[in-house]
Amino acid sequence: MTGHDDLPVAARTRQLEERLIAAGLTSDDEIDEFLTRLYTKASPVNGARMVARAWTDPRYRDLLLSDGDAGAAEMGFGDLTYGLRVVPNTGSAHNVIVCTLCSCYPVSLLGPSPGWYKSFAYRSRTVREPRAVLAEFGLALPPDTGITVWDSTSEARYMVLPARPDGTGELAEDDLAALVTRNGLIGTALL
Amino acid sequence: MSFEAGARVRVKARDPDHHTRVPRYVRGHTGVVLTAIDRWPVPDDCARGIDPPREETCYAVRFSAADLWGSGDHAVTVDLWESYLDRA
């Protein structure tokens, strides 16, 4: 298996870390501690739980859509370091998230971002031709479905609230959460 | 100055030699304010070590693909700080 250490971006990142450490702005220990804190609890299971709650509880859905931070806090994720904004998919409106400037992403609720989310191709093409990009993910939307692309250029982080799949009326909240995928939360898949 | 939801705004067509959070593809383009998101320090000031940085309202602004690219039927929403924008 190829390690991340082999990638050119890993060498660039390490150089940047060494410059910051040399300038006295951080240390290896501080970086390790930050990454551990960031990643140990980060998982798409968190976002999935919020989605399942929104599907089953109209009051929670309203809260999540109007105040993402409050919605996250109610599910036990009160320590977000960003302002969460949740955008709902419907039968006629589809949302997809991107960060054209870097790779901003709600890591704590979606887990570590996939490699393609950080790629130049995804970042540059999603704002330009989302229908073609989504088709390459196997998501062929009807021509009359409106697409909104959310470019994460501020301290806000976006998460898609997928539409609830048909035929799931009998499922309990935990079973519903198990249907929610990371790509569904990004908007590159339907459920 | 602040912008209400529905306000038409034009992104300043600047090309600063310092860090900014204005993507090039919206510079000079006109969009519609969806909502004020929050107030945050202006990244351009933070990146230059200006202390304290200006703190401004940041807006979600919706652009039509046809306006940005000349084609496309989708919308692109970009978060932009107040001083990036003029009323159109």
Which among B40, B72, B77 has the least Cβ separation from residue A151? B77
Model ipTM?
0.97
Bridge partners of residue A149, in order along the sequence: A96, B76
Mean pLDDT of A88-115: 95
Domain boundaries defined on chain A: 8-40, 44-186
C-alpha angle B63-B69-B70 in degrees, rounded to nearest 5:
105
CB contact B11 to A (< 8 Å): no
Domain count, chain B: 1
* Structure confidence at residue B1 (pLDDT): 65
Cβ contacts below 8 Å, chain A against chain B, sum to: 60
Distance from CA of A27 to the nearest CA of B (A): 20
CATH code, domain with B62: 2.30.30.50
**A153 inside 8 A of chain B by CB:** yes
pLDDT digits (tens, 9 = 90+) for A15-66: 999 999 999 999 999 999 988 887 888 999 999 999 999 999 999 999 999 9
Q: What is the CATH number of domain A44-186?
A: 3.90.330.10
Range of the domain at B65: 8-87
Chain B hits for A152, CB-CB cut-off 8 Å, are 79
- Output the DSSP codes for A2-33: --GGGSHHHHHHHHHHHHHHHTTS--HHHHHH
Given a cut of 60, is residue A1 above it in pLDDT?
A: no
pLDDT > 90? residue A9: no
- Residue B46's SS3 state is helix
Q: In the prediction, which pLDDT does A3 show? A: 55
A154 closest CB neighbour out of B65, B75, B79: B79
Distance CA A155, CA A102 (A): 12
Looking at residue A36, its pLDDT comes to 86
pLDDT attached to residue A5: 66
Set A27, A66, A102, A154: catalytic member: A102
Residues of A in contact with B23 (CB under 8 A): 100-101, 151, 153
Tell me whether residue B77 is in a domain: yes
Q: Is the pLDDT of residue A4 over 90?
A: no
* A70 pLDDT higher than 70: yes
B7-24: string of b/e by CB count within 10 Å (b at 16+)? Answer: bebbbbeeeeeeebbbbe
List pLDDT tens digits, range A168-183.
Answer: 999 999 999 999 999 9
Q: Does residue B2 lie in a domain region?
A: no
